[in-house]
Amino acid sequence: MPATGQSAVVTTCLGLAPAPADPVPSERLRWRPRITHARPRPDLDAAESAATALLAALGLDLDDVNLVDTPRRMARALAELTTADEFELTSFPNTEGYDELVLVQDIPVRSLCEHHMLPFVGVAHIGYLPADRILGLSKFARMTDFHSRQPQTQERLTKRIADHLQRELDPHGVGVVIEAEHTCMSLRGARASGTRTVTSTLFGRLREDSRSRAEFLSLTRSHT
């Protein structure tokens, strides 16, 4: 969100009228907001100690040459899966008045099931109907990765991405579809290998207008 209370620097040249205030800094803050998590950074030493205790409690011999460094690797792997990189959510004026569907397909999804701390992996398809702003295409992937790096359900992840786009862009419509395989179901429990879970969240015209909704869903299904 844009910062408040900032002043622009005005310069003058001898014999010339004062130059107008530079609008760039405030525009940058407004249309390139820094997206970051508020939670603290991981304590890797504490995580390694906890991983050592967990693996030992499971009966594993941590003196084995193949396992001696496993707690450190395990702690860092889980920290990587639960720590999102900051990024700027860059958008641009929709100077051409483009109002057709923009769809980015097959964005990688790697997240963790909050019930078992096991990965679910798949792809996201994200579409929107632009209003006043259009989003830099790479930001769809960055936003997906940002929201993926935490324990959660697939349903919540789908809605978080759609909510964020709706809030930042205020478009005419937003749609997010995620397809993923959950290893908590394929590797344990039911052991239903190869199953996919599909979730969707739709806002605006992509939810309310039957033709726009059908176009978005048909494109994601036909691609699959």
Which residues are identified as catalytic? 113-116, 154, 182, 184
E strands within 12-168?
A: 34-35, 87-88, 91-93, 102-113, 119-129, 133-135, 151-152
What is the four-CA torsion angle of 46, 109, 126, 96, rounded to 10 degrees?
70
Contact 8, 22 (CB under 8 A): yes
Q: Using an 8 Å Cβ cutoff, are 37 and 30 in contact?
A: no
Cα separation values, 203 from 105, 176, 180, 196, 212, Å: 18, 9, 21, 24, 11
Contact status, residue 81 vs residue 121, Cβ threshold 8 Å: no
Q: Rounded to 5 degrees, what are φ and ψ at 170?
A: 50, 55
Asked whether 90 and 31 are in contact (CB, 8 A), the reply is yes
**Which residues neighbour 69 within 8 Å (Cβ) at sequence distance 6 or greater?**
none
Q: C-alpha angle with apex 155: 149 to 159, nearest 5 degrees?
A: 80
